[in-house]
Chain A
């Protein structure tokens, strides 16, 4: 209970949630004084026709634009540089990101690189951004990363084969236009991967040592929505009602983790994703249950709450029993979603583990893990997931 009195901050952008939210982009851009917008997106998002309505909305307000779409999943420092050059050369003064975590993170990095005139790796870490980026509107098209409300931007350094975490309140977007309709075109595997990303965000934010009563509210609500709707949504991809629930889950998780930060799952997933270029949501899914196993003892009370939200009947159970039940629940969910394979199955070998662990130890997310791990602990968890 003494945690109630600890200093905590809650930062969130202005956001609009609901059907058609994305179509307000023209009005918002105009009110921010946009003259020429750099639209940061990726080829898949363009192919499914999610960019054209944004362009039309900008055109209706007489706002010029330029598109940067040369982004693959896990955006690299090179793509950031390329985008920032385009932003400066085209004399843009505003950024709109349309897409999942990759375009949004890339857009955040393009913004700070162009306003600070520095290389992106100079922002790696916490609070390293001196000048805020130009105004940024995010239109998420996945229910997962929640980069549209977070203070995180994850950029891959291909040379060092790792993901750099840029953590700064200045990369929180100015406006998030969160429109569940944009997720209707997501295929099943991406729906599942992003769903596990949401679940990991929510669980990690809830047990984080930087959590607060406010972030807890959002985190638990996100866990509730994700645990109930992830599988149904993956089996009914065009159900806008279910898509709305998952989008709301993602938003809640985003508000929670942006302020409470994350933990070991993400530290390890960043290391893994940088090493093998795997989808981020999938990495989280492969690691979540193993980290719960390691962390449980440090925050057993909170994990009991999580178990309740997962609809587990835990009355009368001791901590060990709850731990087992919760881990089983997560593994069942993974099995149902068909992500119940191991790190070995995605190409990790035991000889990679010490390097993976070392990089995870240096990730900003590890700081707020409820239990302080040693490098040996992290290696052990990787081995368990192998």
Chain B
């Protein structure tokens, strides 16, 4: 304290005597008033929120405080609620779950641990309200309480249900579309089959048969899709087995004559990649069946599919037949089948390698294609 100036000394003396503005006797009242106003403001904050808020003693479960929303939503007066217990407002089939949560919090004395559950409250008229409730344990003095904050999620539940049924509808629709696409392709395939019976030229029969098989290889993918109920991917391993067996049947090849070795890893593949890949396999298998063993001598056909971690695939199709004649340049070929294979490999952004050693071996490397948004 600096006591240099006369004025200062006089004003300090006034205060010592007790006549200064702040020279009041110790009183808790102003502080109390301030805290009360704070509490009132806080009370308003609690009452004006839409969430129902409950404070209850643990372990008795008696309510010690509830906000306006809690009373309104459940249809009790505040006075009535304070005579009640947590168990009085929970739907009977949700009681066990509630007890378990409260006692696990209480037993562990988990003060910082908030649990959020979906449960059902029961109002005074027996009506049930779906709520999302967060429950936390607090401690005042030496007593434990739970704070429960419940949000009415009836509307959200309705939206969720609507969303689920709309999703179901779409699934059925997509299934139906794949079904119809497959059926239409089946019809095209049948038409080609009929057509085949009305031509005598062997070359024409062949062309029709090849076209028919191409259509079938695509139809099969749609069939796999709607049967699996997974509309984004098909089990490509299964597909290859069906396709190969179909082609063998189509060309009337006895599996005793051409021994088939299938080495496939389990692969799920998107539609985007599966269709071109299916066509490639169809072409190359057809090629083997038609040309590799011209004198129906016994032989071996092998198909392998390997995948690596970054969704890269290695497809190897080989046979020990006569091999592709040296005069056929694979890159500059004018046969439709091989042209098709080349352009499909390009579409897959992959590479193809032909080895003419003990027959024919095609090695195709490609990646799973990303689905591209159509405009």
Rounded to whole angstroms, the CA-CA distance of A8 and B18 in the bound complex is: 7
Rounded to whole angstroms, the CA-CA distance of A165 and B23 in the bound complex is: 16
B13 and A367 form a contact (CB under 8 A): yes
State how many angstroms separate the Cβ of A12 from the closest Cβ of chain B: 10
**Chain B interface main SS type:** loop
B26 and A368 form a contact (CB under 8 A): no
Cβ of B2 < 8 Å from any Cβ of A? yes
A7 and B31 form a contact (CB under 8 A): no
Cβ contacts under 8 Å, A167 to chain B: 15-16
B1 and A126 form a contact (CB under 8 A): yes
Which residues of A (137-172) have their CB < 8 Å from a CB of B?
A: 165, 167, 169-172
Which residues of A (144-203) have their CB < 8 Å from a CB of B?
A: 165, 167, 169-172, 174
A210 and B26 form a contact (CB under 8 A): no
From A11, A126, A364, contact of B20 by CB (8 A): A126
From B9, B17, B28, contact of A8 by CB (8 A): B17
Cβ of A216 < 8 Å from any Cβ of B? no
16 contacts between A and B (CB under 8 A): A7-B17, A7-B19, A9-B19, A11-B25, A35-B141, A127-B15, A127-B20, A131-B31, A167-B15, A167-B16, A170-B25, A210-B13, A361-B3, A367-B3, A367-B13, A368-B13
Which residues of A (334-386) have their CB < 8 Å from a CB of B?
A: 361-364, 366-368, 372
Known contacts A9-B17, A124-B1; A367/B23 CB under 8 A: no
A172 and B26 form a contact (CB under 8 A): yes
A364 and B31 form a contact (CB under 8 A): no
Which residues of A (113-133) have their CB < 8 Å from a CB of B?
A: 124-127, 131-133
State how many angstroms separate the Cβ of A71 from the closest Cβ of chain B: 23
Cβ contacts under 8 Å, B23 to chain A: 9, 127, 169
Chain B residue, CB-CB nearest to A210:
B17
Cβ of B308 < 8 Å from any Cβ of A? no
Task: Give me the interface of B with A, judged by CB distance under 8 Å.
Answer: 1-3, 9, 12-13, 15-20, 22-28, 31, 141
Cβ of A259 < 8 Å from any Cβ of B? yes
Cβ contacts under 8 Å, A132 to chain B: 26-28, 31
Rounded to whole angstroms, the CA-CA distance of A146 and B24 in the bound complex is: 20
Rounded to whole angstroms, the CA-CA distance of A112 and B170 in the bound complex is: 71
From A170, A209, A366, A372, contact of B26 by CB (8 A): A170
Of A11, A126, A368, chain B has the most CB atoms within 10 Å of the CB of: A126
Chain A residue, CB-CB nearest to B34:
A131
State how many angstroms separate the Cβ of B332 from the closest Cβ of chain A: 89
A362 and B15 form a contact (CB under 8 A): no
Known contacts A124-B1, A125-B1, A127-B22; A364/B16 CB under 8 A: yes
Rounded to whole angstroms, the CA-CA distance of A131 and B22 in the bound complex is: 11
B16 and A210 form a contact (CB under 8 A): yes
Chain A residue, CB-CB nearest to B19:
A7
Cβ of A284 < 8 Å from any Cβ of B? no
Rounded to whole angstroms, the CA-CA distance of A135 and B20 in the bound complex is: 23
Of B2, B12, B20, chain A has the most CB atoms within 10 Å of the CB of: B12
